[in-house]
Amino acid sequence: MTSRSSATTDEPAAADVASETSVDPRASAPDRPSAARERILRTADRLFYDEGIHAVGIQRVVAEAGVTRVTLYRHFPSKDDLVAAYLDRRAEHDHAQVDAIVEAYRDDPRGALTELAAVLTRDDFAGTSRGCPFINASAEFTGSHAARVKAGEIREWVTGRLEELLRQVDHRDPRAAAQQLMMLRTGAVVSGALDANGRLGEDFLASWDLLVDAGLPPARQDDDVPDSGS
């Protein structure tokens, strides 16, 4: 269950609840609730990511999604619930993206690690990124707020996937290396938002490969060196 901090709680007014039927008659159509929910969530995703969670109020989401407050609160009883759904949506995207890469490189775990490095930071050096939505959300809340919990969950999940791949390439300390790769990725995301250095992407990928290769057995390291004899 989502915690309800004072910073994000924005409950429906009694008048809104009382006038639910007359305010939003379209909600009775069978396909309306799911369509409205998706529109609300898509709008919240854009606004929360671009402008920040605390900076965007419920009324702003209502106005830009083209729904009533009653409709929004029918799907998301509080702003914290909407924030949780926003982060769940982002996590589902990341899960699908990582799983697709692992599947595509199922016979080449070392290649999967390289591809993950490129994909996980693909947008972070483009100059238009607002950074990682989970890092951003964590920075806006404290303690055990659901946003921080969900951010920790996706981070641990990605770390676990990296650890699995590192085990497959016989890395000597896959858990530690996976955590180090995530630290490197976090630093790269923040650097991408602050630094105009055009080499950030190249430097990040080189550092990632160094961390991975440092723990591989000699035979694996030799396999990763391009053949210069032809």
Q: In sequence order, which residues have a C-beta less than 8 Å from that of residue 162 and are 6 or more positions away?
A: 113, 116, 177, 178, 181, 182
Instruction: Indicate if the pLDDT at residue 120 is higher than 70.
Output: yes
Q: Do 144 and 70 have their domain in common?
A: no
Instruction: Indicate if the pLDDT at residue 4 is higher than 70.
Output: no
Dihedral sign, Cα of residue 134, residue 50, residue 184, residue 210: positive
Q: Do 171 and 87 have their domain in common?
A: yes
Q: Do 44 and 124 have their domain in common?
A: no
Q: What percent of the chain has pLDDT over 70?
A: 78
Q: In sequence order, which residues have a C-beta less than 8 Å from that of residue 156 and are 6 or more positions away?
A: none
Q: Do 73 and 115 have their domain in common?
A: no
Domain for residue 222, yes or no? no
Domain for residue 226, yes or no? no
Domain for residue 223, yes or no? no
Mean pLDDT value across the chain: 83
Average pLDDT estimate for 178-201: 85
Q: Do 145 and 67 have their domain in common?
A: no
- In the chain, the number of structural domains is 2
Q: Do 35 and 146 have their domain in common?
A: no
Q: Do 169 and 61 have their domain in common?
A: no
More confident: 206 or 13: 206
Q: Do 50 and 163 have their domain in common?
A: no
Q: Do 37 and 51 have their domain in common?
A: yes
Residue 2: predicted pLDDT: 38
Q: Do 101 and 69 have their domain in common?
A: no
Domain for residue 224, yes or no? no
Residue 121: predicted pLDDT: 79
Count the alpha carbons within 13 Å of 26 in the hemisphere toward its beta carbon. Answer: 11
Residue 221: predicted pLDDT: 59
Of the residues 77, 99, 118, the one at which a domain ends: 77
Average pLDDT estimate for 193-200: 74
Q: Do 60 and 111 have their domain in common?
A: no
- Indicate the helix (H) or strand (E) that contains 155: helix 146-168
**Which of 70, 69, 82 lies closest to 43 in space, CA to CA?**
82
Q: What percent of the chain has pLDDT over 90?
A: 64
Domain for residue 3, yes or no? no
Domain for residue 9, yes or no? no
Q: Do 168 and 99 have their domain in common?
A: yes
Using pLDDT thresholds of 50, 70 and 90, give the confidence band for residue 17: very low
For 18-59, how does the pLDDT look when each residue is reduced to its tens digit (9 = 90+)?
333 334 444 444 444 489 999 999 999 999 999 999 999 999
Q: Domain holding 69: CATH number?
A: 1.10.10.60
Residue 16: predicted pLDDT: 42
For 126-179, how does the pLDDT look when each residue is reduced to its tens digit (9 = 90+)?
666 788 899 999 999 998 999 999 999 999 999 999 999 999 999 999 999 999
For 57-69, how does the pLDDT look when each residue is reduced to its tens digit (9 = 90+)?
999 999 999 999 9
Structural domain including 42 reads: 14-77
